[in-house]
C-alpha cells in the first residue's frame, strides 16, 4: 500500500471508526436486559476489546497510519456485535440459560461436581464464574465469545504473516485481521447466536502458527486446550500426526497434549467431578445426534431427505462417512511421511484446509457450525494468496447458508427430482467444490516439491 495513500486514508477511516464505536456504545445503553450499570459495563467491555485489538496490531508491528485505518473495521465489528447482543436463540432458551441458573442455584464452582450441560470443563468453568456476577447471562455468554473473536483475528493476522513471509509491506495480515472480525459466520456464531465455536477455532489458528514458527510444544498445548473446549478441534488434529511423520514434530512433544488436557480438567476433579464423567462428555455428544446431518453442507445432503431417518437407523451410511474421513486422514499422513523435510509452511497450510473442509464434509451427524474451522482457515488461505479466494467463497458461502437454515428454520433451496427431495444440495455441492479445489492445490504443491527434489 502506497505510504501517501495510507496517510490520506487514515484520518477518514479513523473518524468513521470512532463514530461506529460511539454508536456501539449508544446501542449498548439501549439494550433490553439488565440495568443501566449492566449496559454501561457492556459498552465499556466492547470499547476495551477495541483498544485491545489496536494494541495487538501495534504489538505485531502495525504503524500509526495502519492503526488509524484499522479503526474502521474494528469500529464496524464492535457495532455489529452490539446490535446482536439482544438476540435470543433457541439454544440459549433450551440450554444455556438453564446451565447458568443451575450454577447460581447450587453454589457456583462447587456445582462443578454435578452433571450439568454437555460441554467440557473449561467452558463450564466460565459458566460457574458467571454465576457470581449480576449481569444478564445472555450478555455474559456472548461477551466471552466476542473476546475470542479478537483472539481469532490476532491469530489470523499471525498465520497470514507466516504464509507471506518475505513479502515486505504486504497488507494481507491486516486484511486477515479485519476479515476475521467481520466474517459473517464469526459474528453470527458468537455475538448473535451465543455459541462458542470461536474459542476452539482461535486456539487452533494460533496452534498452527506456533508449529510453523517451530514452537512445537506450545502448538500441541494450544491444540489440547482447543480440544478441551470443543470436540470439533479433532478435525484438524491429524495435522500434528502428519507433522510427526514428516519429522517436523518429535513424538515426545506430542505427550504435551494429554498432560495439558489433564491440567484443564484437574480443577473439576478437585471439586469432586469423577474422571469418567468428564471423559464421557464427548462420547455422549457423539451419541446424542441420531440425524445423518443437521443443516451442514456435507455429503449426506446428496441423499434424499426422506431416506435420512432410514439410513441413520441402519448405521451403514454413517460407517461409510467415517471410513471416508479416516481414508482422507490416512492419505495425508502417508504424504507427510513421504514428504519429510519437504513439508513446508505452504503445504502444511493446504493440508490444514483440506482437513478442515474434508473431515466434517464426510463425517455423519454434523451441525452447520462444524465448518467453523473451514471458514477461518480458508479466509487466511485466501488472504495469503488471492488465487485461493474461490475456495474461501465456496466454503464460507456454504457454511453461511447452513447458518441461515438454522436461524430462519427453513431451507434456502429445496431440490425435487421425481419423488426425491434434497434439502441443501447446492450448499453441499459448493463445499465439495471447495474440497476438490483444495486437493488440486495440494496435488500441485506436491508436484512442485517433487520437481525441486529432482533438481537437487
Mean local confidence (pLDDT), 136-151: 98
Residue 74 domain-assigned?
A: no
Question: Tell me: the pLDDT tens digits for 75-101?
Answer: 999 999 999 999 999 999 999 999 999
Residue 326 domain-assigned?
A: yes
Per-residue pLDDT, 1? 45
Question: Tell me: the pLDDT tens digits for 342-366?
Answer: 899 999 999 999 999 999 999 999 9
Percent of the chain with pLDDT over 90: 85
* Total tally of structural domains belonging to the chain: 1
Burial profile 225-252: b = 16 or more Cβ within 10 angstroms, e = fewer: bbbbbbbbbbbbbbbbbbbbbbebbeee
| Residue 454 neighbours by CB distance under 10 Å | 7
Residue 96 domain-assigned?
A: yes
Residue range(s) defining the domain that contains residue 200: 87-449
- From the centroid of its chain, how far is CA 152? 8
Give the global pTM: 0.95
Tell me which long-range contacts 166-169 makes (C-beta under 8 A, separation of at least 24): 169/1
Per-residue pLDDT, 236? 98
Question: Tell me: the pLDDT tens digits for 247-277?
Answer: 999 999 999 999 999 999 999 999 999 999 9
295 forms beta bridges with 367
Residue 22 domain-assigned?
A: no
Instruction: Return the ∠ at Cα 306 (arms to 303 and 309), rounded to 5°.
Output: 90
**What cell numbers appear for 119 in the block?**
460441554
Residue 305 domain-assigned?
A: yes
Residue 72 domain-assigned?
A: no
Query: Which burial class, exposed, middle or buried, applies to 83 when counting CB atoms under 10 A from its CB (0-12, 13-18, 19+)?
Result: middle
Residue 162 domain-assigned?
A: yes
284 band by pLDDT with thresholds 50, 70 and 90:
confident
Residue 13 domain-assigned?
A: no
Question: Tell me: the pLDDT tens digits for 156-178?
Answer: 999 999 999 855 557 999 999 99
Amino acid at each position: 500500500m502506497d505510504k501517501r495513500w495510507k496517510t490520506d486514508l487514515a484520518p477518514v477511516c479513523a473518524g468513521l471508526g470512532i463514530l461506529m464505536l460511539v454508536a456501539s456504545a449508544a446501542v449498548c445503553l439501549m439494550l433490553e436486559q439488565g440495568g443501566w450499570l449492566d449496559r454501561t459495563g457492556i459498552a465499556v467491555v466492547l470499547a476495551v476489546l477495541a483498544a485491545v485489538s489496536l494494541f495487538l496490531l501495534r504489538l505485531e508491528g502495525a504503524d500509526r497510519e495502519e492503526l488509524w485505518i484499522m479503526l474502521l473495521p474494528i469500529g464496524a465489528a464492535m457495532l455489529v456485535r452490539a446490535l446482536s447482543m439482544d438476540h435470543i436463540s433457541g439454544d440459549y432458551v433450551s440450554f444455556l440459560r438453564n446451565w447458568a441458573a443451575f450454577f447460581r442455584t447450587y453454589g457456583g464452582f462447587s456445582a462443578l461436581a454435578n452433571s450439568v450441560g454437555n460441554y467440557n470443563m473449561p467452558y463450564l468453568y466460565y459458566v460457574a464464574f458467571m454465576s457470581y456476577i449480576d449481569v444478564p447471562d445472555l450478555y455474559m455468554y456472548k461477551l466471552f465469545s466476542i473476546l475470542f473473536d479478537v483472539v481469532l483475528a490476532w491469530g489470523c493476522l499471525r498465520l497470514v504473516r507466516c504464509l507471506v513471509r518475505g513479502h515486505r509491506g504486504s497488507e494481507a495480515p491486516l486484511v486477515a485481521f479485519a476479515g476475521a472480525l467481520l466474517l459473517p459466520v464469526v459474528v453470527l456464531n458468537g455475538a448473535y447466536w451465543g455459541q462458542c465455536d470461536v474459542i476452539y477455532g482461535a486456539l487452533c489458528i494460533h496452534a498452527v502458527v506456533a508449529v510453523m514458527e517451530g514452537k512445537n510444544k506450545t502448538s500441541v498445548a494450544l491444540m489440547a486446550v482447543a480440544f478441551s473446549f470443543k470436540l470439533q478441534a479433532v478435525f484438524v488434529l491429524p495435522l500434528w500426526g502428519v507433522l510427526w511423520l514428516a519429522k517436523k514434530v518429535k513424538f515426545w512433544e506430542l505427550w504435551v497434549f494429554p498432560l495439558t488436557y489433564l491440567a484443564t480438567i484437574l480443577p473439576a476433579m478437585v471439586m469432586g467431578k469423577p474422571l469418567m464423567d468428564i471423559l464421557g462428555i464427548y462420547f455422549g455428544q457423539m451419541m446424542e445426534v441420531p440425524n445423518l446431518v443437521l443443516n451442514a453442507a456435507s455429503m449426506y445432503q446428496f441423499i434424499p431427505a426422506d431416506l435420512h431417518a432410514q439410513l441413520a437407523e441402519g448405521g451403514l451410511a454413517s460407517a461409510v462417512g467415517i471410513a471416508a474421513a479416516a481414508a482422507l486422514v490416512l492419505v495425508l499422513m502417508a504424504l507427510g511421511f513421504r514428504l519429510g523435510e519437504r513439508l513446508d509452511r505452504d503445504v502444511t497450510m493446504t493440508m490444514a484446509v483440506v482437513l478442515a473442509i474434508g473431515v466434517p464434509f464426510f463425517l455423519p451427524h454434523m451441525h452447520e457450525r462444524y465448518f467453523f474451522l473451514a471458514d477461518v482457515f480458508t479466509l487466511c488461505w485466501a488472504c495469503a494468496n488471492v488465487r485461493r479466494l474461490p475456495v474461501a467463497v465456496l466454503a464460507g458461502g456454504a457454511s453461511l447458508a447452513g447458518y441461515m437454515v438454522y436461524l430462519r428454520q427453513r431451507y434456502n433451496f429445496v431440490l425435487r427430482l421425481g419423488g426425491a427431495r434434497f434439502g441443501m444440495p447446492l450448499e453441499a455441492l459448493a463445499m465439495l467444490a471447495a474440497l476438490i479445489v483444495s486437493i488440486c492445490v495440494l496435488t500441485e504443491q506436491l508436484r512442485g516439491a517433487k520437481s525441486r527434489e529432482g533438481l537437487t
